[in-house]
Structure 1
Amino acid sequence: MAAGAEPGTQRPGGRTARVRAAVLRAAGDMLAELGFDQLDLAEVARRADVGKTTVYRRWGTPAGLVADLLSDMAEQSVPRTETGTLDGDLLANADLVRRTLSDPRQGPLFRAVIAAAGTDDRAAEALHHFYAVRVAEWAPCVRQAVGRGELPEGTDAEEVVRQVSAPLYYRLLTTGAPLDEASAVRAARAAAAAARAGAFTG
């Protein structure tokens, strides 16, 4: 591995990529099962069937491992859906968020990372980067709606996308209530109505 190279950037499909995939899979499983506080690099190495020295050398700390895990998740996330209407696009985004947070593995994993971000700067930075990537992926749907005349000029596309997922995260973290289809529909409709009313301009 070249000096200064990021984990997994050398020899795509080779041993480096396989090691990274195995380690990130094990780290994600542990986060979902045990939370960030119990993310032990030695145990990750054991689960991934990788040498401890390799894991410590490449990732260094649990926060470094979480940062790489989130980068990998951002790269592999489902691309946006374009339906041709603002309502359809925002509903597609809300439903994707709902399904992700309701997933038996992904839901606990995100809760663990969000909890870690409250106390660890590197985990927080990784989480912020993950959402920046995802928001940027969906923002063109809002800009296209502006171009079609569905929304006022000057609408902040990124903020509209954030407003779609915000109620779903709030419900997940504060009530523990299931994220059903109705909750996704409400989130999408509320964001669309606010955007049409000009709440995200200026």
Structure 2
Amino acid sequence: MFRQLSLLVLIFVFHPAYSKSLMILGDSLSAGYQMSIEDAWPTLLPEQLNDKGHSLNVINASISGDTTGNGLARLPNLLTQHNPNYVMIELGANDGLRGFPPALIENNLTQMIALIRESGATPLLMQIHVLPNYGKRYTEAFSSIYPSVSSAQQTPLLPFFLEGVITTPGWMMDDGLHPKPDAQPWIANFVAEQLINHL
């Protein structure tokens, strides 16, 4: 009897099925661009969440350079492989830098949300903004994609963490696009504060 109880305790403590998980589907902003993956904010996120009373495994499925189309193509296999409880979509910056049509981006995001829901997971969408390389009209049209998709799909919209990084001296790399390792703990805390409202 004691051996059976001991085995049950080990299963509950160590079996990953009893921990909820969040998969981050992102680009270089989440992939730890030009830094150790241990320093990237998704790696730091579980500790920040734990400090706020939430235990969550984090799966970082981000790849530098990915577009919403790349994310959509990879998503089915990722959902099958990891079976997450939540999926945060942090994609679109590379679409914007390449001037992809807003309608295409919106369609890709909508399809990803549908696939996430079909898998039984909860989708979360992060707002993305881009530099005004293609003029004010495109920049505004791009930014409006996210609240539009969020409203239409009844999906939580998380604010863009980069806005708080850009305004802090010394936190951006020389390319003006990516946050430095120094900014990663702040980003992890910022994302954790946004996430706990939706867990």
TM-score, length-normalised on structure 1? 0.30
Greater per-residue helix proportion: 1
TM-score, length-normalised on structure 2? 0.30
Greater per-residue strand proportion: 2
